[in-house]
Every structure is written in C-alpha cells, then in structure tokens.
Amino acid sequence: MSNSSEGWIEVAKLFAEDREVEILCPECGKACLKSEEIALPSDKTVEKRIYCEYCGAENFMRLNKKF
Ligand SMILES: [Zn+2]
C-alpha cells in the first residue's frame, strides 16, 4: 500500500460535492478519474466506482441518493 489513501479521501469529498468533477488520479497523477454509479437494492444509496483507466486504480464510495 502507498500513502495515497489521503488522496482518495480528497477525491471522495470532491465527488460528493460535484459528481461530474474531473480529478487527476491520486495514484499516477497522469489521467483524470472516471466514475460510474452502481444502483444498490437498498435504494437510499448508490455506490460509486471511481477508477483510473491509465493505471487501473479504483475505489468505491457510497453516496446518498438525491431526490
Ligand atoms: Zn491512475
């Protein structure tokens, strides 16, 4: 493990505020992160997969659905 977890916390904060935000990958710093939302059966939250196509890093976060 690297010390990039702080970077991912920051990424999660930014995505929580703006789901379309473009953020450089905290692992490689060479590409913008992509994201996709995965609907969960318990319909109060969505799971967001944030990933880097360049280096393959990925992280998951939970977001409350906005109605
Ligand atoms: Zn990367």
Query: pTM score, two decimals?
Result: 0.78
List, in sequence order, the alpha helices (H) in the chain: 5-17
CA–centroid distance, residue 58 to ligand 1 (Å): 8
CA distance 48 to 61: 5
Q: Give me 26's structure tokens.
A: 């905290």
**Domain 5-64: which topology?**
N-terminal domain of TfIIb (2.20.25)
pLDDT of amino acid 3: 62
CA–centroid distance, residue 51 to ligand 1 (Å): 8
Note down pLDDT in tens along the chain; length 67 residues: 456 788 999 998 898 888 788 999 999 999 999 999 888 777 788 888 999 999 999 999 888 876 5
CA–centroid distance, residue 18 to ligand 1 (Å): 20
CA–centroid distance, residue 54 to ligand 1 (Å): 5
pLDDT of amino acid 63: 81
Q: What is the dihedral of CA 4, 9, 11, 16, to 10 degrees?
A: 170
pLDDT of amino acid 20: 83
pLDDT of amino acid 1: 44
